Structure 1
Amino acid sequence: MPSIETANHMSHQVSLRQPKAVWAVAFACVIAFMGLGLVDPILPAIAAQLHANPSQVELLFTSYMLITGVAMLITGAVSSRIGTKWTLLTGLFLIVLFAALAGSSHSIGQIVWFRAGWGLGNALFIATALAAIVGLASGGTAGAIILYEAALGLGMSTGPLLGGWLGGISWRGPFFGVAILMAIGFISVLTLLPNLAKPQRKSSVLDPIRALRYGGLLTMAITALFYNFGFFTLLAFSPFVLNMDAHGLGYVFFGWGVLLAITSVFLTPQLQSRFSTQKILYAMLLLFALDLATMGLIVSAHTPFIDILGYEISSRTVLIVLIIVAGGLMGINTTLITTAVMHVAPVERGIASAAYSFVRFVGGAIAPWLAGKLAERYAPSVSYYVAAVAVFLGMLVLVSGRRYLNRGS
């Protein structure tokens, strides 16, 4: 397997001449990731209408991410037995079912459990979708991953916008919106994706665990765990700090997602053509940590306005700008980390993706709940400081494991 530095010299351009099957899966990916951002603008509304505190509402993310991560261990075993197409369809069906049930809930507890079922469907879909796009797309692995990340960015940018609009009507709206959109995704995959050949060897649930013995894959997975901690602190906790309605939050995270998509698709290939993947990751992780720390400082100031170069600017405006800027950093980070994972371990792409996702989603599961708890016990700024430290630790892990990444093992 090539190292991530060797992979850095591969094709980074996205070919638009793709098989229909690739576009069908990419379309479903857009809707799947739209489902994540769709819920973000309604978190404060759910807290207010169901009489819950922030840490309880954050469990919607924790149950979803935790089950997604654990279920990653079975995705390879399932897909190797029932095939890629039917694994994708099973995942999409579960998302439709549990999103609709979440929209019909009457308590935080019910939504948390239904989000866990949603996470199971999400795991079956996203792990298989990445492997399917990489396997079917023309233009090389790097281009296929950029296409996948573009779908992620498009989904996560339009999700909050639609969620803000539907959430302005009712907090239940975004859940039913996800169910309808994922049903469309189900139909597109069912009709456009052909039955793909099953692998000759049936995977075991232990294969992803065994894959983590490769130093390069373990390094990237732990880096992603800490990075995801910062990612989901910003995504899930920030709505409670901004004190905006569903429409306003939808616009903020739409801007965040747009910049994430733009940097992922257009800026990342340009950076890779000039700098090594590791150096870019070092810089982006450090900048993201500084961004989170700055958000903590602004929140801790407890002042509606901040003096910047002689101009008084609303603290909320500065926070919004920092969130949107973070989207750009996260677009580059997520694309490069995912690309690196596909190159650092001599195992099948599906197994590498499952192993990496299993570890990284743990960070995504812990962060929202812990951010809420830290804010309740200490102060909201502490949540951002802890997230900043976590991202910085991720950068240190990447630096300490550079010998594995350079030789791709």
Structure 2
Amino acid sequence: MSSMTSHAAMEDAQHNKQPKAVWAVFFACIIAFMGLGLVDPILPAIASQLDATPSEVTLLFTSYNAVMAVAMLVTGVISSKFGTKMTLISGVVVIALFSTLGGLSNDVWTIVGLRGGWGFGNALFVATALTAIVTLSNNGTAKAVILYEAAIGLGISVGPLLGGFLGGMTWRGPFIGVGVLMVIGFIFLITLMPAGDASSHSTKGTRTSILDPFRAMKHRSIVVFGLTACLYNFGFFTLLAYAPFVMGLDEHGIGLVFIGWGVLLAVTSVFMAPKLQKKYGTISSMCTMLTLFALVLIVMGIWTSTQWVIIACVVFAGALLGNNNTLITTAVMNAAPIERSTASAAYSFLRFIGGAIAPFLAGKLAEWYSPNLPFIVGGVFVLISVVFVFVNQQHVHHVDDVEVH
């Protein structure tokens, strides 16, 4: 018994001795994902001040996710050619440039185009950051993914606070704020991440092809998780991009609501998801979270005009999304015997297609029919994702066994 206790203590000590490179990427991830939450509170203000419709403003998410989906297919090639550190730094620089230009623009269509450039920078950063943390970490895939999801959660939870504060002064503030934060991220990566990076551990002696993500889709498990995330993102980005328009709150109020959402997302992704995974298994836990999220969206669709219901549902959804994000990302990393960067690229390409279609569709459904319908449709798509997982369960049940071994 004492030897087991000693072994556990040694593991805990090891967990606290992550390489500096891991923490460099971790802190840069926090700053990168602040960008998502920073912009959210100002969507109604952009629509009002630039004389744009909600569906036009939601194109800020559509162009961002569409470019990111396609760019995910080439991140592996870029990373293998220039190295993980240079790819991460390039992503940070591109985000800083396009976000700042967006803050200086006076036309919604120009901002939509610039958000596409922002999405390309985010693709370079996000796909490479996940691979870097998983590869450089000394604690296994599951704990590395938890660390990555913790960075996302912290970034998303702090972002709305800053976005609401800056957006209360001017809608341009959050865009320029992202540029400033990216400079900080740039400093972290330059100073803390060594030149000999994650790519040297995982891709040495191999050549990465632009076709690799498509070859990865020959593995049924990758396709199942990718399409599941695609359907799930219809709900996720309906909530993120459309809910601010029906809350009836100003920039500060929207920011506070999404702080609650982000805090729950961060806490559950780190502390609750691993316990659910261990007790009930990845697939069962993931399907439960998705089902609950679908029900939350349907409730939002029924009581769209009741402010407190919308606010409560958005905050509560953060807990469900935090759990699901960690569960599905861990599953993808263990889904197939291929390079993690390739698996991440193929999966991310599929999932961001949903993130590209959903925001614009939500805005149009509200304009064409009623403000209730976007949430109902988002909930139905999430329910379809659950059915899809159950139908293909024989192709994905192995992910928990991989982590154990």
TM tier, shorter chain?
A: over 0.9
Per the TM alignment, residue 16 of structure 1 is displaced from its structure 2 partner at its CA by 3.3
Per the TM alignment, residue 12 of structure 1 is displaced from its structure 2 partner at its CA by 11
Distance in structure 2 (CA, Å) of the matches to 1:360 and 1:223: 8
8 Å Cα contact 1:13/1:139 also seen in 2:
no
Structure 1 residue 192 corresponds to structure 2 residue 192: yes
Q: Which one of 242, 246, 250 corresponds to residue 251 of structure 2?
A: 246
Per the TM alignment, residue 382 of structure 1 is displaced from its structure 2 partner at its CA by 0.4
Structure 1 residue 263 corresponds to structure 2 residue 254: no
8 Å Cα contact 2:283/2:397 also seen in 1:
no
* SS of the residue 2:396 aligns to: helix
Structure 1 residue 391 corresponds to structure 2 residue 382: yes
Per the TM alignment, residue 273 of structure 1 is displaced from its structure 2 partner at its CA by 2.2
8 Å Cα contact 2:133/2:144 also seen in 1:
yes
Structure 1 residue 327 corresponds to structure 2 residue 332: no
Q: Which one of 399, 403, 406 corresponds to residue 397 of structure 2?
A: 406
* SS of the residue 1:168 aligns to: helix
Q: 2:232 corresponds to which residue?
A: 227
* SS of the residue 1:213 aligns to: coil
Distance in structure 1 (CA, Å) of the matches to 2:354 and 2:159: 22
Q: 1:51 corresponds to which residue?
A: 51
Structure 1 residue 26 corresponds to structure 2 residue 17: no
- The residue correspondences of 1:25-104 to structure 2 (distance < 5 A) are 25-104=25-104
8 Å Cα contact 1:286/1:392 also seen in 2:
yes
- The residue correspondences of 1:288-307 to structure 2 (distance < 5 A) are 288-299=293-304, 302=305
Cα deviation per residue 1:248-269 (whole Å; 9 max; x = unaligned)? Answer: 0000000000000011001111
Distance verdict in 2 for CA 1:153–1:193, change over 3 Å: same
Per the TM alignment, residue 47 of structure 1 is displaced from its structure 2 partner at its CA by 0.2
Cα deviation per residue 1:69-110 (whole Å; 9 max; x = unaligned)? Answer: 100000000000110000001111100100110001010011
Per the TM alignment, residue 202 of structure 1 is displaced from its structure 2 partner at its CA by 2.1
Distance in structure 1 (CA, Å) of the matches to 2:222 and 2:363: 31
Distance in structure 1 (CA, Å) of the matches to 2:334 and 2:250: 43
Q: 1:371 corresponds to which residue?
A: 362
Amino acid at match of 1:159: G
Amino acid at match of 1:245: D
Q: Percent identity?
A: 56
Distance in structure 2 (CA, Å) of the matches to 1:283 and 1:12: 30
Q: 1:126 corresponds to which residue?
A: 126
Cα deviation per residue 1:141-165 (whole Å; 9 max; x = unaligned)? Answer: 1000000000000000111111000
Amino acid at match of 2:65: M
Amino acid at match of 2:206: R
Per the TM alignment, residue 167 of structure 1 is displaced from its structure 2 partner at its CA by 0.1
Per the TM alignment, residue 57 of structure 1 is displaced from its structure 2 partner at its CA by 0.3
Cα deviation per residue 1:237-257 (whole Å; 9 max; x = unaligned)? Answer: 000010110000000000000
Q: What is the TM-score with the length of structure 1 in the denominator?
A: 0.92
Amino acid at match of 1:257: G
8 Å Cα contact 1:103/1:173 also seen in 2:
yes
Q: 1:153 corresponds to which residue?
A: 153
Equivalent pairs, count = 385
Cα deviation per residue 1:333-376 (whole Å; 9 max; x = unaligned)? Answer: 11100000001111100000000000000001111100000000
Larger RCO (alpha carbons 8 Å, 6+ apart): 1
- The residue correspondences of 1:153-172 to structure 2 (distance < 5 A) are 153-172=153-172
Per the TM alignment, residue 14 of structure 1 is displaced from its structure 2 partner at its CA by 9.9
8 Å Cα contact 1:14/1:144 also seen in 2:
no
Distance in structure 1 (CA, Å) of the matches to 2:12 and 2:142: 5
Structure 1 residue 286 corresponds to structure 2 residue 291: yes
Between Structure 1 and Structure 2, the one with more helix by share is: 2
Distance verdict in 2 for CA 1:248–1:377, change over 3 Å: same
Per the TM alignment, residue 407 of structure 1 is displaced from its structure 2 partner at its CA by 3.9
Amino acid at match of 1:172: R
8 Å Cα contact 2:242/2:362 also seen in 1:
yes
Distance in structure 2 (CA, Å) of the matches to 1:288 and 1:165: 29
Point out where structure 2 has 5 or more consecutive residues left out of the alignment: 1-10
* SS of the residue 1:146 aligns to: helix
Distance in structure 1 (CA, Å) of the matches to 2:252 and 2:15: 35
Distance in structure 1 (CA, Å) of the matches to 2:110 and 2:214: 31
Distance in structure 2 (CA, Å) of the matches to 1:56 and 1:14: 49
Kindly report the root-mean-square deviation, in angstroms, between the aligned alpha carbons of the 2 structures: 1.5
Distance verdict in 2 for CA 1:116–1:269, change over 3 Å: same
Structure 1 outlier segments of 4+, above 3 Å: 11-14
Cα deviation per residue 1:254-297 (whole Å; 9 max; x = unaligned)? Answer: 00000000110011112122111111111111100000000000
Q: What is the TM-score with the length of structure 2 in the denominator?
A: 0.93
Distance in structure 2 (CA, Å) of the matches to 1:33 and 1:190: 19
